[in-house]
Amino acid sequence: MNDTRSAVRAVYAGAEGRLWELLMGEQIHIDGFASSMALAAKAGVKPGLHAVDLCCCSGAGLRFLAKLHGLASGIGVDMTGEVLRQGAERNRRDGVAERIRFVQADATATGLPSASADLVWGEDAWCYVPERAALVAEAARLLKPGGTLACTDWCWGARRPAPAEADRFLAFMKFPELFSAADYASACTAAGLRVELCEDTGRFAPAIERYLADVTIQRTWDALAIIGFDQAMAQAIVGEMQHALALAKAGMLAQVMVVARKP
């Protein structure tokens, strides 16, 4: 596993991942439930689908689809064994273990059969994958003809930060680089998908503002407990979140939603 991947795996196997879950809940993406509901609606998700969630973490996306959208079966793919073990427990807790299974693999090379999924799902996670165009191509390979790619992701916004600002944000988040909405549209088209929707959801800055308020007011104690009551580290994290908020408010960061179909 290369350095980028081992740094990301360490995040989700450890304290930083637990911090994200404290701030965001089990659905570790901007606006959690509301964002998933919007993505399912825009993608036209209906009961009876077979889905693959790429970079599923503990599998909250598949449990959401199983409990609320009549998912027939789902496979979650993630490279971090710790989150998949936690996900298996949560699947049993929520009574969906028979419909959802996990594969520990790189999302760019899942080893799953071609043309096997009605829906490939991804929520705010593909930003961690350096070979993002290859990941979109893997999603397209997994889709049956007529199937749907539905994802949200952290992207550059309409304006780009100066290189030093971009590097600071990428290093804090352990992102290799980010796509823009236009990069997603190009990658989908190159992978043979027809893009139906590729747009800024407008959710990013307000959500970061809420997380900052939570971590500095309501949940400070819980956050400190996760990081061993290291107040210097807590201040540093808050500083980086404030930096991300400033970039977002300047239109430089966005959550982008993509819906694309395989002809």
Ligand X SMILES: C[S@@+](CC[C@H](N)C(=O)[O-])C[C@H]1O[C@@H](n2cnc3c(N)ncnc32)[C@H](O)[C@@H]1O
Instruction: Choose between 125 and 248: whose C-beta lies nearer to ligand X.
Output: 125
DSSP 13-81: HSHHHHHHHHHH-SS-STTHHHHHHHHHHHHT--TT-EEEEET-TTTHHHHHHHHHS--SEEEEEES-H
CB 162 → ligand X: shortest distance, Å?
26
Under 8 Å between Cβ of 187 and 133: yes
Query: Does residue 191 contact residue 137 with C-beta atoms inside 8 Å?
Result: yes
The DSSP line for 110-121 is: --PPTT-EEEEE
Angle among Cα 23, 38, 65 to the nearest 5 degrees reads: 80
Q: Which of residues 45-104 bind ligand X (CB under 6 A)?
A: 55-57, 60-61, 78-80, 83
Nearer to ligand X, 175 or 250 (CB): 175
Site for ligand X in 3-22 (CB under 6 A): 5, 8-9, 12
Q: Does 244 participate in binding ligand X (rule CB under 6 A)?
A: no
Tell me how far, at minimum, the Cβ of 180 lies from ligand X, in Å: 19
Query: Counting contacts by CB under 6 A, is residue 129 touching ligand X?
Result: yes
Is residue 155 a contact point for ligand X (CB under 6 A)?
no
In angstroms, what is the minimal distance from the CB of 231 to ligand X?
26
Query: 19, 23, 29, 205: which one contacts ligand X (CB under 6 A)?
Result: 29
Non-local CB neighbours of 105 within 8 Å, separated by 6+ positions:
77, 79, 111
d(CA 145, CA 131): 24
**Does 183 interact with ligand X (rule: CB under 6 A)?**
no
Q: List the helix and strand counts (H, then E) for the chain.
A: 11, 7
Q: Taking contact as CB under 6 A, which single stretch among the options 118-126, 210-218, 220-228, 248-256 is the one that binds ligand X? A: 118-126
Smallest distance from the beta carbon of 160 to ligand X, in angstroms? Answer: 23
Interface residue list for ligand X (CB under 6 A): 5, 8-9, 12, 27-29, 55-57, 60-61, 78-80, 83, 106-107, 123-125, 128-129
